[in-house]
Amino acid sequence: MKSSVIIFPGSNCDRDMDVALKKFGFKNQMVWHNDPEIPKSDLIVLPGGFSYGDYLRCGSIAAKSKIIKSVVEFANSGGLVLGICNGFQILTETGLLPGILQQNKYQKFICKNVYVRVNDKENKYFKNIKKEILELHIAHNEGNYFCSNDELKSLNDNNQIAVTYCNKDGKEADDFNPNGTLKNIAGIFNKNKNILGMMPHPERMIDKYLSSNDGNFFFENLFENLK
Amino acid sequence: MKVKVVVTLKNGVLDPQGKAIQQTLNGMSFSDVKEVRQGKYFDIEVNIEDEKKAKAEVEEMCKKLLANLVIEDYKIL
C-alpha cells in the first residue's frame, strides 16, 4: 500500500505523518510541492503546518502550487486524499471540500487534546473502526469551520460531516466546541467520501508514551480498509 | 497601471480581529466606535495600460486567489 505526503514550504507535520503511515504498514514517499507529478499512490496526504506562512489565507497559496493539479486529478478520479489541519485548509481552498476554516472564535491559538466522534462509517477512512470516540490533538489558530446554509444542508443530507467535537462520552455541546466551529464540525468528506479533511491530528496520537494512542485506531483501520 | 483592490468579510461573517480592535478602541475611550470590520488592501501593478482590460484581469485574480468568496467580497477601486 503506497502513500504520498506532500511537503509545502512551512509544512511541519509531514514527518510525523511519515512515521505514522510507516508504523501501520504504508510504503510512504515524501513529495515536494514543486514536483510535476505524484508517484503512484493509494493515498495522498496533505499534512499540517503553516504552508507559505499562512500568507493571504491559510492554505490559499499552497492550493495554487504546482503539485495540486495532480492532487485534484487524483481526487477527482476517486483516489483517497487526506488533509490534516493545514491540509484541511488547503483542501477547502482548492475547492475539493466546501466551506472555509476561519480564525478561532476567541482569537487564541489552541493546542490541546480533544475528543471527536466518528459520525459516518460508510467510507474507507472509518469503516470498521474499533473506537468511535477518539482522543486526538488539535493545534490551530484557524479551525473554525464555516459554510453557507445550503452547503451545510448538503453536508448533512449526504452524511459528509465526518467527525465532530464532543466530550469523552460522545456528547456534543457548545462546551466541547473548542473554536466556535459550525455544528461542532472537526472534519468533513466530499460527496464521494474519498476526500477527508479534519483539524485534529491522528498522527500525533500513535504512541502512548508520548501522547495517547487513539490515532492508532485511525491508521490501523485505514490500512486494513485499503488492503 | 496600478489597480487597487479591497477585500472585506461579508456581512454576518464573524470577525474576531475586528471585534478585538473595536473593544480596544472603546477601552482607549473612543466610546463612539460601534463596530470594526478588518479587511485587506492590495496594490497591484500590471503591464496593461488599458484600464478596462487591467481591471478585468484583476477581477479574475480576485475570484481565483485574492478573495475567498465563501466569506469575502472584493471591490476594485
- CB distance A56–B65 less than 8 Å? yes
What CATH number should be reported for the domain holding residue B69? 3.30.1280.10
According to the model, what pLDDT value does residue A155 have? 98
Q: Are B8 and B77 in contact (CB under 8 A)?
A: no
Check A13, A33, A58, A85 and give the catalytic one: A85
CA-nearest residue to A107 within chain B is B16
Range of the domain at B59: 2-76
Helices (H), chain A: 14-23, 68-76, 86-94, 149-157, 214-226
What CATH number should be reported for the domain holding residue A76? 3.40.50.880
**Model pLDDT for residues A58-107, shown as the tens digit of each residue:** 999 999 999 999 999 999 999 999 999 999 999 999 999 999 999 999 88
Range of the domain at A105: 2-226
According to the model, what pLDDT value does residue A209 have? 86
What is the C-alpha to C-alpha distance for residues A36 and A26, in angstroms, rounded to an integer? 23
Establish whether A201 is a catalytic residue: yes
Total number of domains constituting chain A: 1
- CB distance B65–A100 less than 8 Å? no
- CB distance B65–A64 less than 8 Å? yes
Three cell numbers written together for B39: 479587511
According to the model, what pLDDT value does residue B16 have? 87
DSSP E strand stretches across chain B? 2-9, 40-45, 72-76
Q: Which residues of chain A carry a pLDDT beneath 50?
A: none
Q: What letter does residue B33 receive in the DSSP assignment?
A: -
According to the model, what pLDDT value does residue A211 have? 83
Q: What angle do CA A212, A144, A72 make, to 5 degrees?
A: 85
ipTM of the complex: 0.83
The residues with which A188 forms a beta bridge, in sequence order, are: A161, A197
CA-nearest residue to A61 within chain B is B65
Total number of domains constituting chain B: 1
According to the model, what pLDDT value does residue A210 have? 79
What is the C-alpha to C-alpha distance for residues A2 and A79, in angstroms, rounded to an integer? 12
Residue linked to cell 486529478: A73
Give the pLDDT of chain B (77 residues) as one tens digit per residue: 999 999 999 998 989 889 989 999 999 999 999 999 999 999 999 999 999 999 999 999 999 999 999 999 999 99
